[in-house]
Structure 1
Amino acid sequence: MQAQRHRGTEAQRHRGTDSQIFAVLLALCIGTFLLCPGVLWAGQPSLTEMVERGEAALERWEMAEARQWVKKIEAFTPLPAEAEFFRSRVWFYQGEYDRAVETIGRAVTLDPDNEMYQGYQGFFTNTRLATQGLESVQSEHFTLLIDREKDGILIPYALEALEQAYQVFGKQFGFTPRERVRVEIFPDPERFYHASSLSRRDIEVSGAIGICKFNKIMLLSPRTLLRGYRWLDALTHEYMHYVMVHLTNNKAPIWLHEGVAKYQEYLWRSPRSLYLNPVNETLLANALRENDFVSFAQMDPSLVKLDTTHQVRLAYAEAASAIDFILQRVGYPGLQRILQHIAQAEEQGAQQAIQEELRLDFAAFERQWKAFLRQQNLQEIPGVYLEKYTLKDRVKDEEEWGLQEIRSQVVRNHVRLGDLFRSRGRLVPAVLEYKKALRKSHPSPFLYNKLGKALLLRGRYAEALTYLEKAKTLYPDYVTTYTNLGILFLQQKRLAEAEEAFTEAIQINPFDPQVHQGLYQIYLLRGEREKAAQAEKTVQTLLMR
């Protein structure tokens, strides 16, 4: 008994010592964890692995996941340069430019010889400067940054088109973004260049007036271009790029990216795609006749970097028609499966995905796509105008641009004489001079509008309409045509057609007061007082500029 009691006491004593040691070790571990939160437990990824996983999420524009990795990384102190660099990019992609500039500054301080960090520091700083003064306006699914004083008129049209695209594309592709999409509209080219990484050449040769990059949409105000441009289609085009990034984990090849975006850009306002307009039809017909295509490989890394405006426009037409071909074969469900396959593939590219869905290798796909084009019986339309975007600082006004487009001095003289007669109210000789100009010139949307407007003023509506429709065919994006059509229909009390024409003009250049004045008159005639009051307010705003 004594021995047993002794042994029991000894055991109890050792157990007490063990407990005390365990308590001390536990306290030391807890203290170490509290003092050094970056301590890793078994199976936990290292800081380097965390940064890599965060970068992968950022590459896919999965911002919620990227923010989670930022939170985990911030448990480590102090942070190395690569971690600060990653954090700065997350802030930038979220539009938090002040935090981005501050954080990239720390990365540069930690690694002052890193030229990549320095480049990002300059870019982040320039973007912050370019977006200063832009006001935030929100709709249900979008955040719009805009210069309200200069471009406030764009706000309702922009948000309405984007929300419409959100609904249409969501139904077609089975995807809608979880967070509001950031959209920045820049009031001048210089600020757009700094924020977008595009150049004047990209705008004027390639027509790059918008871009979807850095988890946001950026657009140049149509106010800055001489004749405006299809800015609402451009917004929805870029939104489709945003959707594509998420659907494919940012791994779609450029021809597929641009093809889907070009095909879809019209669908916010039309039940069918309008990509096959007279210009694109002519480009594709010519490419078939000459067997001179821009190959899908040539489109990488960007259509913007192709050499000529002709190549850029042809590439867009080809890519959109390839999507049309895919949709004819497998519909939107099949296109969704192609995009899902691309997202799940280890490498970028669409060839394997297309082969899986269409049961065609890529060479056979290209052959059958071109056969599909030949079956369309595409026609080359003489005189179609291949638009080049012109910034306002290049040309004084539309009259100067129109005369520059006319190569013959004789034709220019007829136009100037016609303008002189019209300004003096002598419409009969004005019409004669414009007709002489047309007979001695190639088909010209500028001249068709000159003649159409003079005939309109004479009350010869049917003949005026003939010439304005010709202008519309040759140059579907020429805003003056739609303005003149709106005036013509309004004078004939064809109110629905007048409203449609004026609305089309707004989709190209909403800064012309006479377009809104026309809508004001339509709404008054219909008794739609609220709409009339809004149109009148817009007219006054524009006249006060």
Structure 2
Amino acid sequence: MKRSAAAFFVSVAVLAAGNGVRADGPDEHAGRAQEYILANDFDEARKELARGKPDDVGIATERARLALYEADCDGALVTLSSPDVAKTEQGAMLADIARGCARVTAANVLEEDHDQGVWIRYQDENDRALTPLIIETVVKAREALTRDLGATWPKPTRIVVVRDLLSLSAMTGLPYESAQTTGTVAVAKWGRVTLLSPRASIHGYSWRDTVAHELTHLAVTRATVDRAPLWLQEGVAKREEVRWREPGPFDDRPSPDAIAARGIELKLDLPLDKLGPSIAMLPSADAALVAFSEVASFVRFFASSTPPGSLERLFAALRDGKEPDSALEIASSGNLKQWDTKWRAYLQSKPKEPLPPLLSLGKEPAPNPKAPSLREVRERMRLAELLLARKHPTEALSELERLQLVGAAGAPQDDPSYRYLRGRVLMALADPGRTKEAEVLFQDPKEVLSSYGPWWALRGVLARSRNDEAIAEPSFAEAVATDPFDVEAACETLDADSPTPPSKDPSPLCQSARAWKVPSGTED
């Protein structure tokens, strides 16, 4: 079935940036305190605030900002209750964030690993089972960012996991409508990563890569004192979001170069310095996808075309107060216009890479008169799901066979959701020959269009049934990285009611997935 661009590349995680905002009020200590806060140097910020005049509006405003960055939302509200502070633009903005933060984090659950320096708040206690995976991701991502960008890390690293987009909006200030339009799943702002629970999407999203993406934003903000332009912030974050782990089969399929080139061809692109305050606030999912691809392709091109350390030099120049063009010339002997010209010439010089039919970028794929309609595909796949849930696999397979799916616009053979459903149906027939037929659907990740948690989980189940742990273990890991509360992924078993494999005790993640499981055939 056709996916939107945002859903297709579901790690749409953005920085709601507020570059270069300076404190209200005349006290010079307030301005310096804000710079320390943006760099997450909180002890130095406190020293500056102590040097300022206690009744200065700017000092009070920055004291509230510091409280927000240190996750003391109630303390920030107390400071912002002063009429003199509340009537300023900065005071009113901070008060809105503080109220939303206090509301979302009321009666929440805190997990903290002092040794690793990771602090996690959960709006929903059922998400606590993610803790070991979040900590592992944060630690590995910090190490990768230190290696690649020279990033330094004050502790703790703060993560907040929220249950829905309304809470994400309230915690960060990102407009709710913008989050809906562009498929935003996380925001790096206020010194923390606010992450949408994987439960909020029917089959999750690439949440571990999203954590790494957002930590990159925090690292760049700290390194530049929040002076990095949006193209640099997002471009570096897209480059770094997969470098904390081993390369995966979907990391560059399709490549950002191909999407950017197609977006330019369709005139969906924007100049790099005209992206606005946030990619999350662009008018459509297609526009957001093209923008992400533009900046990812551009930063990759810049990094590969300059000597090692160029990004670090660019960050340092921005931190020193240089404008982006001047900072680029210091780091690389070229300004943004010159680099943009080189990059676009590079894209034009590459062979044209076709995009998957489901990634239509503003238009539906050309209809195939011999293929079922999108509506028929959806209806028959849904009917097959319901029949399977009611123990009628033969009838379910009949519905799938009627689709004659080779070339179908809505559910092609490389759609992992179709392969997963067909595999489940074939296995439910309890025929060894049919099980062998099912295994063909799960052999090579390169044969499917995109990552899909249930497909990975069933691949792991099949591999374990033939004692192939070399395939089973990474398959289950990929499943959890996408859809951690899917029972097959979390419990490493085909049936929600089946016992956990004998070699494993039920993990907290498995217990949480089973407790949350929606009865088969009732999902909407």
TM over 0.5: yes
Equivalent residue for 2:283, pick from 302, 307, 321: 307
Equivalent residue number for residue 151 of structure 2: 175
Task: Tell me how far apart the structure 2 counterparts of residues 179 and 416 of structure 1 sit (CA, whole Å).
Answer: 48
C-alpha separation in 2, matches of 1:71 and 1:470: 61
Name which of 442, 456, 467 aligns with 2:409. Answer: 442
What is the Cα deviation at residue 387 of structure 1?
A: 11
Cα deviation, residue 146, structure 1? 1.8
Deviations 1:191-247 (A, max 9, x none): 222111124433332122111111111111111222211111111111010100122
- Does residue 1:433 correspond to 2:374, yes or no? no
What is the CA-CA distance between 1:253 and the residue it aligns to? Answer: 0.8
1:267 deviates by 1.3
Which one of 143, 162, 165 corresponds to residue 186 of structure 1? Answer: 162
Correspondences of 1:120-159 after superposition (within 5 Å): 120-139=94-113, 140-147=116-123, 149-159=125-135
Q: What per-residue deviation string (whole Å, max 9, x for no partner) do you get for residues 507-536 of structure 1?
A: 112112222321799x997x8x5xx1253x
CA change 1:251–1:503 in 2 (3 A) is same
- State the SS of the aligned residue for 2:464: helix
SS at match of 1:138: strand
Aligned to 1:68: 47
Residue matched to 1:241: 217
The two structures, once aligned, show a CA RMSD in angstroms of 3.4
Residue 284 of structure 1: how far off its partner (Å): 3.3
Q: Which amino acid aligns with 2:244?
A: W
The answer to whether structure 1 residue 264 and structure 2 residue 235 are counterparts is: no
C-alpha distance 188-357 of structure 1, shift in aligned 2 (>3 A): closer
Structure-1 separation of matches of 2:319 and 2:133 = 33
User: 2:455 — aligned with what?
Assistant: 481
Q: Which has the higher contact order (CA 8 A, sep 6+)?
A: 2
Say how many residue pairs are matched: 471
Distance in 2, matches of 1:432 and 1:447, equals 14
Shift of 1:112: 6.5
Amino acid at match of 1:66: A
Q: When you count helix as a share of all residues, which structure comes out higher?
A: 1
For residue 366 of structure 1, the aligned residue among 326, 340, 343 is: 340
Residue-by-residue CA offset, 1:151-178 (whole Å, 9 max, x unaligned): 1111110010000111111122222213
Residues in 2 aligned to 1:272 and 1:485: alpha-carbon distance in whole angstroms: 16
Q: What is the aligned partner in structure 1 of residue 513 from structure 2?
A: 542
Match 2:316 to one of 313, 332, 340? 340
In the superposition, the TM-score normalised over structure 2's length comes to: 0.79
Relative to 1, partners in 2 of residues 1:292 and 1:91: Cα closer, same or farther, differing over 3 Å? closer
Aligned to 1:213: 189
Q: Which residue of 1 aligns with 2:73?
A: 97
C-alpha separation in 2, matches of 1:363 and 1:104: 42
CA contact (8 A) 1:142 1:159 kept: yes
Q: Which residue of 1 aligns with 2:27?
A: 48
1:451-503 residue CA offsets vs partner (Å, 9 max, x unmatched): 34334545546654554579876642332222232223223332221221211
Taking the aligned partners of 1:191 and 1:287, their CA distance within structure 2 comes to 32
Q: Separation in 2 of the partners of 1:416 and 1:145? A: 37
State percent identity of aligned pairs: 21
Q: Which has the larger radius of gyration?
A: 1
Give the counterpart of 1:165 among 138, 141, 163.
141
User: Is 1:83 aligned with 2:59?
Assistant: yes
Q: Given the superposition, is the C-alpha separation of residues 114 and 190 from structure 1 closer, same or farther in structure 2, using an over 3 Å criterion?
A: same
Q: Once the two structures are superposed, what CA deviation does each residue of 1:53-94 show, in whole Å capped at 9, x if it has no partner? A: 323333444322211112223xx56x2433322222222222
**Structure 1 length normalisation: TM-score?**
0.76
Gaps of 5+ in 1: 1-45, 389-405
Distance 1:250 1:120, change over 3 A: closer
**Cα 1:432–1:441 shift into 2, 3 Å:** same
1:503 aligns with 2:474: no
Q: Matches of residues 309-458 of structure 1 in structure 2 within 5 Å?
A: 309-330=285-306, 332-347=308-323, 349=324, 351-374=325-348, 376-385=350-359, 408-415=374-381, 418-419=384-385, 422=388, 427=393, 430-437=396-403, 438-439=405-406, 441-444=408-411, 445=415, 446-457=417-428
2 CA distance for matches of 1:417 and 1:128?
A: 44
- Looking at structure 2, the residues matched to 287 and 111 of structure 1 have their Cα atoms a distance apart, in angstroms, of 45
